[in-house]
Amino acid sequence: MFLSNQDVIELTAWRRKLHAMPEVSGEEIATAAEVQGFLADTGPDRVISGLGGTGIAVVYDSGAPGPTVMFRAELDALPIEETGTPEHRSQIPGKGHMCGHDGHMTMLAALGRQFSRERPKRGRAILLFQPAEETGAGAAAVIADGKFADLTPDYSFSLHNMPGLPLGHAWLKDGIANCASRGLKIVLSGRTAHASMPETGISPVPAVARLMPALTALSKGSIAAEDLVLATVTHAAIGEPAFGIAPGHAEVWVTLRAMTDGEMEALVTAAETLVSEIAAEARLEHALEYHDIFVHSENDPEAAALLRAAMEAEGVPHEPGETMRGSEDFGRFGSVSKSAMFFLGAGEDMPNLHNPNYDFPDDLIPIGTRIFARVARDILG
Ligand SMILES: [Zn+2]
Ligand SMILES: [Zn+2]
């Protein structure tokens, strides 16, 4: 075991420090500085900051030709008030590390310690701490950043901690790991009227009443059959909270989800067709906006095989598991490299991700680190 007891103690303390100082997507300034400071004494060959916003890439270069292997963690926390009461609970009101990204960062920091003691023999290892995973904006921003051009990896790896799975058991799948998803904001505009004369206005009420079940009814298929399509209405608002006004304005928010980007395109077309038909029949103007766009995330067979071999070698129990309904912006790195991600069990009795009392289990730190370190050694020597 390359991590000493002292390492584990220090890394655990650092994970808890990160947990107490959550920052939300795109605002991870103190977190990025903390990462940079913690890894300074590992003697990286290059540190690139401000990547895609607040991102940090830490490069350990062998100096010899060879592939570039990137490991990705996320800097961001969530706008969720922590209700758990560990000693290291969030010190920032309304914000919390409820997705375990504090643990993912710590595993990469542990890898940095490993590379500082034993440089790769060929090629380069890159630790990428990316911003804004939760909004789906961060990975795309990193890839679009000019500073990323000479960091572009041959292989990219990531993991996500997964409550509900036994602690330390892994799910690793060939093919689709996470669904594509996007938020669709539908704005309907008519004309307000006095509530005593609603017929003189154009109310969005009947259209909203039709639209919500019609959108929901676009859902079909299942994860098991690899054809799940899901439309979930998440929010609706009509007019103003007043008794005197017949409304002239409404919003419906719906999250669209599909197992592939192709099926997402078909779902988007179906949703847009529904909206324009229903709005036109009700004589309403409509506008559409998309938010939080995630592509599907697909494991490359060679990259997945490398992870699987590392799990075997490290004695980590693993099975294919199933595609996650949730989305993950790591999928973007599949367009520039051979990429694969896996899910590491956080324990069967843990609260779900994004629950207000989630706290990453520290016992996973050495397990995830060992898998990544083994992959790095297998590729880079
Ligand atoms: Zn999350
Ligand atoms: Zn997450």
Tens-place pLDDT, residues 111-129: 999 999 999 999 999 999 9
Residue 360 φ/ψ, nearest 5 degrees: -50, 130
3-state secondary structure of 211: helix
Distance CA 233, CA 358 (A): 25
| Residue pLDDT, tens place only, 99-112 | 999 999 999 999 99
Q: Is 321 left (phi over 0), alpha (psi -120 to 50) or beta?
A: left
Q: What is the mean pLDDT of the chain?
A: 97
The DSSP call for residue 187 is E
Centroid of ligand 2 to alpha carbon of 361 (angstroms): 14
As assigned by CATH, the class of the 180-294 domain is alpha beta
- 134 marked as binding residue: yes
Average pLDDT, stretch 257-266? 96
Average pLDDT, stretch 308-318? 98
Centroid of ligand 2 to alpha carbon of 24 (angstroms): 12
- 101 marked as binding residue: yes
Centroid of ligand 2 to alpha carbon of 324 (angstroms): 12
- 160 marked as binding residue: yes
| Residue pLDDT, tens place only, 178-203 | 999 999 999 999 999 999 999 999 99
**Is 1's pLDDT higher than 80?**
no
Q: Is 129 left (phi over 0), alpha (psi -120 to 50) or beta?
A: beta
For residues 295-308, b (16+ Cβ closer than 10 Å) or e, as one string?
bbbbbbeebbebbb
**Is 319's pLDDT higher than 90?**
yes
Identical fold between 5-178+297-380 and 180-294:
no
The domain 5-178+297-380: what is its CATH number? 3.40.630.10
- 354 marked as binding residue: yes
Half-sphere exposure of 317 (CA within 13 A, CB side): 6
Centroid of ligand 1 to alpha carbon of 353 (angstroms): 7
Centroid of ligand 2 to alpha carbon of 44 (angstroms): 26
Average pLDDT, stretch 35-61? 97
Centroid of ligand 2 to alpha carbon of 67 (angstroms): 27
Ligand with the closest atom to the CA of 78: 1
Assign 268 a pLDDT band (cuts: 50, 70, 90).
very high
Centroid of ligand 2 to alpha carbon of 279 (angstroms): 36
Distance CA 234, CA 190 (A): 22
DSSP 273-338: HHHHHHHHHTT-EEEEEEEEEE--EEE-HHHHHHHHHHHHHTT--EE----BSS--GGGGGGGTSE
Average pLDDT, stretch 341-349? 97
- Give the residue among 230, 231, 130, 250 at the shortest CA–CA distance from 188: 250
Per domain, the residue ranges of the chain are: 5-178+297-380, 180-294
Distance CA 298, CA 175 (A): 5
Centroid of ligand 1 to alpha carbon of 297 (angstroms): 15
Ligand with the closest atom to the CA of 353: 1
Q: What is the pTM of this model?
A: 0.92
Ligand with the closest atom to the CA of 135: 1
**Is 170's pLDDT higher than 90?**
yes
Centroid of ligand 1 to alpha carbon of 107 (angstroms): 17
201's enclosing H/E stretch is: none
SS3 sequence of 355-371: CCCCCCCCCHHHHHHHH
Assign 2 a pLDDT band (cuts: 50, 70, 90).
confident
Centroid of ligand 1 to alpha carbon of 244 (angstroms): 42
Instruction: Take residue 177 and report the two structure tokens written for it.
Output: 């790991």
